[in-house]
Structure 1
Amino acid sequence: MAEIKQERRLGLLQATAINMTDMVGIGPFITLPMVISMMNGPYFLYAWLAGAVLSMVDAMVWSELGAAFPMAGGSYNFLKETYGKNGLGRLMSFLFVWQTMIQAPLVIASAAIGFAAYFSYLLPLTPIESKMMSGGIVICIVALLYRKIEDIGKISVLLWGAVILTLFWIIGGGLAHGNFLQPIRDVNNGITLNYAFVTAIGFASVKSVYSYLGYYNVCHLGGEIINPSKNIPRSMFLSIAGIAVLYLMMNVSVVSVIPWHVAKDSQFVISVFMQQLAGPTAAKVVTCLVLVVAFASVFSATLGYSRIPYAAAADGAFFKVFARLHPTGKFPYVSLLFLGGIAFVFSLLFKLSDVISAILAMRILIQFIAQSVGLILLRKVRSANDFPYKMPFFPWPVYLAILMWAGILISTGTTMVAGGLVAIVTGAVVYFIKAKLNKEWPFNAETQSN
C-alpha cells in the first residue's frame, strides 16, 4: 500500500486566517472585564500591550524553528531537533505530545464552554443545557474538520471574515458614538510604577496572553503550507500585529461607552456595550457574531492540534494508529477524532475559570521555555544556512522570551505550576517505561553514542 502524504495547499492568506481565527475566540470578550478588574484602573491597556510584546518576541523563536522545520506537529519536531533526535530530544518531544493530549482538549473545551456561557445572554441555560451545548459545539467542529485541507482553508477564510466584521463593528460603534480618545488620554491616570503595578500586570497578562495564543498555529500545519520558509514567519507577525491593533481598539471602544469601573463587572460586556449604543436587537446580533467568532476559534485550534499526535506517530514516537491519514482527504482523522472525543468529555466536566490558567501552566515549561532554550543550543551546532528566517539581535529576544514566560508561569499560581510539574513528571515516568520496553534512549547504547 502506497504511503499517503500531506500536500502543501495553504497560502499566506489562509495561514494568517487560521492563526487569527484561533487567536480571536471567545477569549478577548470574556477576558476583557477580567483584565480591567485585575488592573483596577484606566491603565489596563498596558496588560494588552504586554501580551502583544510577549507574543511578538516569542514569534521570533517560532519563526526560526518553523521556517527551518516546516513539518506537521510544530513543537514536536522543534524539540526533537533542538535536543537531539537520538538523545534527550526523544524525551522532550514525547513530553510535548503527552501534555498536548491533555492541554489541547482543554483549549478546545475552554472555547466550547465559553461559547455556551456567552449564549446564555440570548437564552438563559440551565447547567445541564449549557453542558449539552458545549459538547455539541465540539461534535460540530470535528464534523466540519473531517475533510480535505483545501476545503478547510476556504472555511477558515470565511470564519476569519466573521472575526474581522465583529471587531470592526465593535470598534466602529465606539468611534461613532463614544468618546474614543478619552480612554487613551486617561491611560496613565493614577498609575504608580511600583511592585503592586508590576504584580498586577503579571496577573492580568495571564488573561491577555490567553487571548493572543494561537499565533503559532501555522507551525502545527507546517507540512501543508506553501513556501513555508517565508509564509510561516509572515503569517505569525501579521497575525499578532493585526490582532494587537484590533484588541487595543476594541478595549478603547468599549470603555469609551461603558466606564472601566462598570465594564470590569460585566459578564456580557460586548452585548451590554452594543445595547447601550444601538438597542437590544443590535445587542443580540453582536452576541451572535461573538458566538461565530468563538466557534471559529475552536475550529482553528482543533485543526492545528490534530496534526501533533499524527506527526509523532508518523515519526515512530507515538502510537501507530495516530499516523493514519484519511485515504481520500489526506488528513489525520484518527488524531482528530481522539482529541475531539477527549475535548467533548472535558467540555462536560470543567468550568471556564478552571482551564485558562491550567492551559498556560501546562504549555509554558515544555513548549515555550524548552523550545526557546533548544533554539539557543541548536544555533551553536547548526550552520546559519539551516535557518531561512533569522531573528534580529539574536540571542537577546530568546532570553527576553524565556524571562517573560517565566513571569507568566509564576503568575498562574502555585497550584497551576504544581499541576504542570505533576503532568511533566508523570509523562517522564511513562516515557522511561516505554523506552525501557522498546530499548530506546537512554536504554539503547547505540542511540546514546550518537
Structure 2
Amino acid sequence: MSDPSTSDGYIRRLSLWDAALIVVGGMIGGGIFVNAYIAAARTSSGLALLLMWTGAGVLTLLGVLCYAELGARRPRAGGSYVYLRDAFGPMAGFLFGWTMLLVIYSGSTATVAMGFAAYTAKVFDLPPSIVNPLAIGGLVVVSGINLFGLRLGAQIQNLFTLLKLLAIAMLVVCGLVYAGVGSSQALMPDPARADVGFMGAALPVLFAYSGFTYLNNLAGEVRNPQRTLPRALVLGMVLVIVVYALVNIAYLAVLGHAGLAQTQTPAADVMQHVAGPIGAKLIAIGIAISTLGFCNITLVAGSRVLQAMGEDGLFFRSVARLHPRHRTPNVALILLTTWTCLLVLTGTYERLLEYATFGDWLACAFGVGTLFWYRRHDGGHAPLDFRVPGYPWPPILFIATVGLVIVQSLRASPFNTGIGVLIMLAGVPVYIVWRRLFSRTEP
C-alpha cells in the first residue's frame, strides 16, 4: 500500500512513534547537559531547582497543547510560518522565516554541532583543530541522509533518540542507585545561593524546553495528522518533563545543589564520580549522539519552512522544489545546511544565537496567539479531533508568561536582545523589496 500524498506534494510517512521521537529528539539536545548549572546557580535549593524545571515544563506543555490544535487545523509543511502567515499576513510569515534562517535554527544548530564535535574530540583524544571539521562533517552527514527521503531520515533519528534516552537512563540509574548520596539532603537549602525569581532562573530552563514546534514543520508528512500530531506532541512533552526531572535529581543526588551550581559539565562529573573515566567517556558519547540528533531535526524541520516560503513566492522558487522520487525539499535542505556550516566556520554562531535566543520563544508566543484567529475564522464548532482543553486560558497563560520572560531578557541583556530585535526588523525592508521584485501573487 502506497503512502498517501498531500496537496503540497509531500508523502505522509511518519507514524505516531516516529513523530513522538521527533518531539523528544528536538527538545533534548544539549540544554539539560549544559544549562542545569546555570539554573542551579540562580536558585537557593535543590527543591527550588526541581520546581523550576517542572514548572517550566508545565508552562511549555500549555504551548504544546496549543500547537497540537494548530497542527490538527493546518496539517501541512511549514508550521509556525503557515500559522503566522494565515493570521497576521505574509510579512509576519516572512519575518519568521528570515529570522529562522539567519539565526534561530541555523545558530542553534551550529552551536549544538560544535558541542557534538567537542565531545567527540574529547572521547577520542583528538586535537582542538579537528573540532570545526568534525562539526561540519556531522552536519553534512545528517543532511545528506535526509536527501534520500524522510523515511530513512526518520529511522536514523529514531536510533539517535533511543540511544540518547539510553544514555540518559544510564546517567539517572548511576546517579540514584550507585552514588550513595541521599536525594533528600540534596533538596536542602543552599546558604550560598539566593533565588533570583522565576523569570531570572527560567531563561536557561526554557531554552532546554525549546524545540517543541519542530514537529509541526513536518505536519505534511505525518500520517493521520489530526489524530497523530496532537498525541505525539503531548506524549513527547510529558516524557521530556519526566526525563528532565530525573536527570536533575541524579545531578543533585551525586553533586548536591552547591556542586551542580559550580560545574559546567554536570553529566560528566556525575559519571566520573560513579564510574570513573570510563563512565565519563560513555556519557560523553551519549551527549555527542544527543547533539547530533538535535542537528538532524533542526535541519529537516527548517528546510520545510523554506520550502513553504518558496511555494508562496516569499523565497527563491528553487527551494520550493521537491525531489521527484523522495519528495524531499533537497534544495532548501542544502541551503540551510550550507548557511549553518558557514556560521561554524566564521565562529559567529554563539553571538548570533545569543542575540536572538528570545526570538524563538517570541515566535512561539505569536504562534500560539494565532489560535485565537483560527478559532474565530474556522468556527469554534468545526469538526476537529483535538481541541485545547480549558481554552482560552492555556494560550493566555502561555503568552503572558513568555511575554514576562522576554521583558526579563530585555532588562537583563538590553544590548543583545536589542540586536536580536534589529535582526528581525531588518527583514522588513528585505520583504518589501522582495515583494516588489520577485513575488508573483499573495499567498
Partner of 2:98: 98
Aligned to 2:123: 122
User: In 1, Cα distance between the equivalents of 2:371 and 2:383?
Assistant: 12
Residue 258 (structure 2) aligned to one of 258, 261, 269: 261
- Kept after mapping to 1: 8 A contact 2:255/2:270: yes
Letter of the structure 1 residue corresponding to residue 386 of structure 2: Y
Q: What per-residue deviation string (whole Å, max 9, x for no partner) do you get for residues 370-419 of structure 1? A: 22332213322321216442111211111111111112223332123212
Q: Which residue number corresponds to residue 233 of structure 2?
A: 236
In 1, Cα distance between equivalents of 2:94 and 2:383: 24
When the two structures are superposed, what TM-score results if normalisation uses the length of structure 1? 0.88
Asked if the contact 1:47/1:201 (under 8 Å) is kept, the reply is yes
Q: Please give the residue correspondences for 1:171-250 in structure 2 after superposition, counting only pairs within 5 Å.
A: 171-178=172-179, 182-183=183-184, 187=187, 189=189, 197=195, 199-250=196-247
Q: Return closer, same or farther for 1:128/1:148 CA change in 2, 3 Å cut-off.
A: same
Residues 361, 416 of structure 1: 8 Å contact kept: no
DSSP 3-state at the match of 2:123: coil
- Structure 1 unaligned regions, length at least 5: 84-88, 442-446
- Show CA shifts across 1:76-111 (max 9, x none): 11112223xxxxx11111111111111211121111
Structure 2 letter corresponding to 1:337: I
Would the aligned equivalents of 1:114 and 1:352 in 2 still touch at CA under 8 Å? no
Q: Is 1:421 equivalent to 2:418 in the alignment?
A: no
Find the counterpart in structure 1 of residue 165 from structure 2: 164
Alignment of 1:275-286 (within 5 A): 275-286=272-283
Shift of 1:120: 5.1
1:74 aligned partner, one-letter code: G
Q: TM-score w.r.t. structure 2 length?
A: 0.90
Unpaired runs of 5+ residues, structure 2, are: 1-6
- How many residues matched? 429
The secondary structure found in structure 2 opposite 1:276 is helix
In the TM superposition, residue 21 of structure 1 has moved relative to its aligned partner by: 1.2
Structure 1 residue 4: Cα displacement: 8.2
Distance change (3 Å), C-alpha of 1:376 and 1:52 = same
Matched, 1:368 2:364: yes
Correspondence 1:57 to 2:62: yes
Counterpart in the other structure of 1:69: 74
Q: Distance in 1 between matches of 2:75 and 2:150?
A: 16
SS in 2 for 1:279: helix
CA RMSD of aligned residues (A): 2.5
Higher mean alpha-carbon deviation, 414-423 vs 353-362, is at: 353-362
- Residue in 1 that maps onto 2:13: 9
User: Do the aligned partners of residues 285 and 348 (structure 1) sit closer, same or farther apart at CA in structure 2, a change above 3 Å counting?
Assistant: same
Contact 2:23–2:214, Cα closer than 8 Å, also in 1: yes
Once the two structures are TM-superposed, the CA of residue 159 in structure 1 deviates from its matched residue by: 1.3
CA distance in 2, matches of 1:140, 1:439: 34
**For 2:182 and 2:56, how far apart are their aligned partners in 1?**
22
1:364-403 mapped onto 2 (5 Å cutoff): 364-365=361-362, 367-384=363-380, 385=382, 387-403=384-400
Q: 1:264 to 1:14 in 2, by over 3 A?
A: same
2:70 maps to a residue whose letter is L
Partners of 1:78 and 1:120 in 2: CA distance: 41
Shift of 1:318: 1.9
1:23 and 1:246 map into 2 onto residues whose CA distance is 11
2:320 corresponds to which of 301, 320, 323: 323
2: CA distance between counterparts of 1:140 and 1:200? 42
Q: Which range moves more in the overlay, 155-164 or 62-71?
A: 155-164
Instruction: Tell me whether 67-76 or 349-358 shows the greater mean CA deviation.
Output: 349-358
**Partners of 1:79 and 1:417 in 2: how far apart?**
22
Q: Deviation per CA, 1:400-447, whole angstroms, max 9, x where unpaired? A: 111111122233321232123212221111112223446889xxxxx7
The one-letter code of the counterpart of 2:368 is S
| Equivalent of 2:297 in 284, 296, 300 | 300
Return 393-402 or 380-389, whichever deviates more. Answer: 380-389
- The amino acid of 1:50's aligned partner reads G
Displacement of 1:219 in angstroms is: 0.4
Amino acid at match of 2:61: M
Question: 1:60 deviation in Å?
Answer: 1.8
Separation in 2, partners of 1:322, 1:439: 14
Taking a change above 3 Å as real, the CA distance of residues 352 and 266 of structure 1, as seen in their structure-2 partners, is farther
Alignment of 1:77-156 (within 5 A): 77-83=82-88, 89-102=89-102, 103-119=104-120, 121-122=122-123, 128-156=129-157
Could you tell me which amino acid in structure 2 is paired with residue 425 of structure 1? Answer: L
Q: Report the residue type matching 1:71 in the other structure.
A: R
Contact 2:72 2:385 in 1 (8 A): yes
Could you say what secondary structure the match of 2:35 adopts? helix
Deviation for aligned residue 1:116: 2.7
Q: State the Cα distance separating 1:275 from its structure 2 match.
A: 1.6
Structure 1 residues 349 and 37: alpha-carbon distance in aligned structure 2, compared to 1, 3 A threshold = farther
